Amino acid sequence: MHPTMRKLDRRQEALDFVSFLEKSPSPFHAVQSAKELLTEAGFEEIKERDSWSSVCKPGGKYYLTRNGSTIIAFIIGGKWKPGNAIAAVVAHTDSPVLRLKPVSKKQGEGFMQVGVETYGGGIWHTWFDRDLGVAGRVIVRDGHDFRPKAKLVKLDRPILRIPTLAIHLDRSETFQFNKETQLFPIAGLVEAELNRTGGGSKEEEEEKKSETRPLKTPSERHHPYLVELIAAEAGVSPNDVLDFELVLFDTQKPCLGGLHEEFVFSARLDNLGMSYCAVRGLVDSLQDTDVYESESGIRLIALFDNEEVGSTSAQGANSDVLPAVLRRLSVLPGAETASMDSTSDEGSDPATAFERSMAASFIISADMTHAVNPNYAYKYEADHKPQINKGPAIKINANQRYATNSPGIVLMEDMANRAKELDGDDNVPLQLFVVRNDSSCGSTIGPMLSARLGVRTVDLGNPQLSMHSIRETGGSQDVSHAVRLFRTFFVEYTGIEHLYEFH
């Protein structure tokens, strides 16, 4: 039996999550927010290009990033041996969003406009008439040596807006629009910009024409004042801005809502909700040092980018990033490796360590799920209507859109019960979710990772309304439910994994 861990303050956990959301308008910012939580807990940053065998030691805590938008963190148990089990929770950092085009400078009818590209499957009509800021990653020249460097920027004020057409000019009951020509933010008035710049000088125009460059400068491809604002936020001159990856975000702050603050109102709940809970669960599992120092396995989280567009990228779940990390971890020397006879048994054979480790491991694929919407209850299967603040919903699909099977369901119920013993609170409530046979079903990174790695996997997520809207609704109490479930899984799994070996 493990020592009792702290009982979570559910409201404070929800407020901490709201703060995480506010600081994370892009995947780059979400990874930075996760890094801050991990660093505060004593995690050490490592690089993929470095050798880990001399750095990563039993009892150590580490994290690495790829592309600045994917992060993997892990704790190596003090009794770790090559080929032992790895307990993993995986999620994703991206959400459907509008992204600035490489050449975004546009204007029409006296308005300055910004060209955007749709990313993922957003409910795009919810982006109309919202106060939009801009955030993301900027590549700048660093100092006098002109070395490129990445910086994060967040223009946290309403500089863009996508206007709807007045009802007097369109009496249609259904709201339809063209995503290329009408999902088109305005940034200001051309006249106001001319007044600011004085119209520009002929000398400046001639100087631009005389320059020979492979590409036009950012200030030529985008509205110059936008580049100036971005440069000021990055702390550099506009001439030092080389390129950027910027997305639009709603400047309305995340908050607790409802008569009793039972809701979280925010953008990006899908899937920063599960990303935050994964990080908090891993960090909270460190509360008792003796527990993880005597553990024989590894606790790991992986938060991927690009899930909303299929995960096939260098930093997506369908890349080599997690398999490569797990392969390197599976062969890390254990605390007693040096004193062991490497030929004594297969248990010390590094050639099979990865396969043995994957056979013993387990993945929780954590992605938000659909809460029952009271206005559209007929859209849900009658016996599977997840409710907000009733705990994570385990997602099942006979056609393998989710990776859940019966052993995974039983394991999660076991973890939910063990949470009560671990922290003295109630057990974690769980729900079950399947879609109707006459409805399409989304998917997650669970099936692809399970197939690539051969690791037992379960899909689950906290329920929410308005998934993929610019303003979503989740449960404030569900934050602590998921954190407790993940924390218990990290603490308990290695000791009981052999009970869930079904052939």
Structure tokens at 248: 């639009």
Task: Tell me the pTM.
Answer: 0.94
Task: Give the Cβ contact number of residue 406 at 10 Å.
Answer: 9
Q: DSSP character for 49? A: T
Coil, helix or strand at residue 479:
helix
| Per-residue model confidence as pLDDT tens digits over 51-88 | 998 899 999 999 999 999 999 999 999 999 999 999 99
| 185 in a structural domain | yes
Does a structural domain hold residue 285? Answer: yes
375 in the same domain as 291: yes
pLDDT the model gives residue 350: 85
Nearest to 464 by CA among 269, 175, 188: 269
- Quick check: helix, strand or coil at residue 45? strand
In a domain, 191, yes or no: yes
Whether residues 246 and 115 fall in one domain: yes
User: Which residues, 6+ apart, have CB-to-CB distance to 254 below 8 Å?
Assistant: 18, 21, 22, 264, 265, 266, 267
In-domain check, residue 3: no
CATH number at residue 494: 3.40.630.10
Of the three residues 204, 224, 250, the one that is the final residue of a domain is 250
In the prediction, which pLDDT does 291 show?
79
Judge if 179 and 198 occupy the same domain: yes
User: Can you give the pLDDT at residue 343?
Assistant: 38
- Tell me if 284 is assigned to some domain: yes
How many whole angstroms from its chain centre is CA 317?
Answer: 11
Element (H, E) at 13: helix 10-22
Q: Looking at residue 503, what is its pLDDT? A: 60
**Does residue 255 lie within any of the structural domains?**
no
State whether residue 247 is helix, strand or coil. Answer: strand
Q: What is the CATH number of the domain that holds 174?
A: 2.30.250.10
62 and 182 co-located in one domain: no
Residue 141: beta bridge partners? 148
Do residues 383 and 453 both lie within one domain?
yes
Q: What is the largest CA-CA distance in the chain?
A: 83
pLDDT tens, per residue, the chain with 503 residues = 455 677 889 999 999 999 999 999 999 999 999 999 999 999 999 999 999 988 999 999 999 999 999 999 999 999 999 999 999 999 999 999 999 999 999 999 999 999 999 999 999 999 999 999 999 999 999 876 678 999 999 999 999 999 999 999 988 878 899 999 999 999 999 999 998 888 654 444 545 555 667 999 999 999 999 999 999 999 999 999 999 999 999 999 999 999 999 999 999 999 999 999 999 999 999 997 777 889 999 999 999 999 999 999 999 999 999 999 999 999 999 876 544 443 334 456 888 999 999 999 999 999 999 999 999 999 999 999 999 999 999 999 999 999 999 999 999 999 999 999 998 899 999 999 999 999 989 899 999 999 999 999 999 999 999 999 999 999 999 999 999 999 999 999 999 998 887 76
pLDDT of residue 288: 79
Question: Residue 349: what pLDDT?
Answer: 80
The answer to the question of residue 257 being in a domain is: no
Counting the structural domains of the chain, the total is: 2
Between CA 79 and CA 59 the distance in angstroms is 8
What CA–CA distance (Å, rounded) separates 494 from 155? 44
| Per-residue model confidence (pLDDT) at position 8 | 82
Strands 111-119 and 147-160: unpaired
The reply to whether 81 and 112 lie within a common domain is no
Same domain for 276 and 233: no
3-class secondary structure per residue, 179-193: CCCCCCCEEEEHHHH
480 and 423 inside one domain: yes
Residue carrying structure tokens 């029409």: 108
Give the structural domain span for 467: 10-95+267-500
CA distance 65 to 501: 32
Number of helices followed by number of strands (H, E) in the chain: 13, 20
Contacts of 263 (CB under 8 A, 6+ apart): 256, 257, 388, 473, 474, 475, 476
Name the one residue in this structure whose structure tokens are 């506010």. 22
Number of neighbours of residue 16 by Cβ within 10 angstroms: 17
pLDDT value at residue 181 = 93
Tell whether 279 and 215 lie within a shared domain.
Answer: no
Peptide bond into 306 cis (omega under 30): no
**How far apart are the C-alpha atoms of 40 and 58, rounded to whole Å?**
20
| Same domain flag for 169 and 280 | no
318: preceding bond cis by omega (within 30 degrees) = no
Mean of pLDDT over the chain: 92
* Same-domain pairing of 246 and 147: yes
C-alpha of 229 from chain center:
27
Is 308 found in the same domain as 379? yes
pLDDT of residue 502: 72
203 is a domain residue? yes
